[in-house]
Amino acid sequence: MDNVCTKCSGNPVYFRKYSGERLCSECFSSSIIEKARRTIKKHKMLKYGEKIAVGVSGGKDSLALLDILMKMQRENEYELVAITIDEGIKNYREEAVELAIKACEKYNVEHVNMSFRELFGFTLDNVLENRNDVKNTSCSICGPLRRRGIELAAKKIGVNTIATGHNLDDMLQTFMINLLSGDVYRIKQSKPYSTPKEGFEFKKIKPFMEIYENEIAFYSFQNNLPFQSTDCPHMNENIRNELRDVVNNLEKNHPGIKFSLMKSMEDITENIELKPKKLVTCLVCGNNSSSNPCSVCKTISLSEKLTKSNS
Ligand code: SF4
Ligand code: ZN
């Protein structure tokens, strides 16, 4: 095959192994924007004129999401506001917050920056310093609090659609974590988006859910988007990391296997019926959940106890 871009015959910079395409920088970027647009359309993620809160952590996925949603915007189709949650991880989150602020200035997007301290009265570092039970990994505490933080910030500014930069690899890791922990119910819940009528207060959308992680990173490089260069110091505590390697190794020898895994996940979500679990209302936050208090409220209360007992 000639070494030219499959689409425009320009100079190729990327070989998409799973499709056999060679793409020049421009055609590669257009293909990523088009993929995100198709995902939004296919799953009817957005309505005309909607206000969307974009979770912008300062990492590559969220900054690329903001960039692409800005580029996709036609005639005020939607309005964007960015939300950054600062967990309070010393020598890590500061750089990301700076990058998020600069990106919002560049796109002229309203930016709401809130910290765990403002939202919950403690930082993640405070909680982890006082943790005495290794069962509670950093991410199992931080993740639910981050999600709740974005929801609280969105509520504060009156927006009920939340977009996050979760990519295909994130979706597959979550799928496998749930599979390995015997929680098929959670897989069933992992729809392209959750809507308020299903008992959730917020509509949550993931426009990158069908795009490979390495392609988002490559898009960021090709479009000169500065993103946080260092990894979270707690990243290796998470099984996610091990699963990332497993799936990437499989993909290396079997290009396209990530899409097959995604299809299995979608089939379980859409076509397999499970005996409905009784949902109850969490009396702390008012959300529907399988337990009262819900798992997020339990994490908040545990974190409060840990920080108070040593203050
Ligand atoms: Fe929080 Fe874990 Fe992500 Fe670090 S890797 S920001 S601790 S969820
Ligand atoms: Zn709750």
Assign domain 43-274 to a CATH class. Answer: alpha beta
Alpha carbon distances (Å) from 105 to 60, 81, 108: 17, 12, 5
* Ligand 1 pocket, residue 234 CB under 6 Å: yes
CA 304 – ligand 2 centroid, Å: 14
- How far does Cα 116 stand from its chain's mean position? 18
Atom of ligand 1 at shortest range from CA of 233: 4
pLDDT, one tens digit per residue, over 153-204 is: 999 999 989 999 999 999 999 999 999 999 888 888 777 666 665 556 789 9
* Ligand 1 pocket, residue 226 CB under 6 Å: no
Closest residue by Cα to atom 7, ligand 1, is: 139
Reported residue count of the chain is 311
CA 19 – ligand 2 centroid, Å: 44
CA 231 – ligand 1 centroid, Å: 9
CA 152 – ligand 2 centroid, Å: 12
Nearest ligand, measured from the Cα of 139:
1
CA 281 – ligand 2 centroid, Å: 8
Angle at 251 between CA 250 and CA 252, to 5 degrees: 90
Angle at 29 between CA 222 and CA 6, to 5 degrees: 110
Percent of the chain topping pLDDT 90: 72
Domain spans of the chain, in order of start: 43-274
Atom of ligand 1 at shortest range from CA of 93: 6
* Ligand 1 pocket, residue 143 CB under 6 Å: yes
pLDDT values of the chain reduced to their tens digit, one per residue, 311 residues: 468 999 999 999 999 999 999 999 999 999 999 999 999 999 999 988 999 999 999 999 999 999 999 999 877 789 999 999 999 999 999 999 999 999 999 999 999 999 999 999 999 999 998 887 667 789 989 999 999 999 999 999 999 899 999 999 999 999 999 999 998 888 887 776 666 655 567 899 999 999 999 999 999 999 999 999 888 999 888 899 999 999 999 999 999 999 999 999 988 888 888 887 788 999 999 888 888 999 899 999 999 988 876 55
pLDDT of 254 reads: 97
Closest residue by Cα to atom 6, ligand 1, is: 232
Residues 6+ apart with CB under 8 A from 27: 5, 6, 7, 8, 10
pLDDT of 134 reads: 61
pLDDT, one tens digit per residue, over 27-46 is: 999 999 999 999 999 999 99
pLDDT of 197 reads: 56
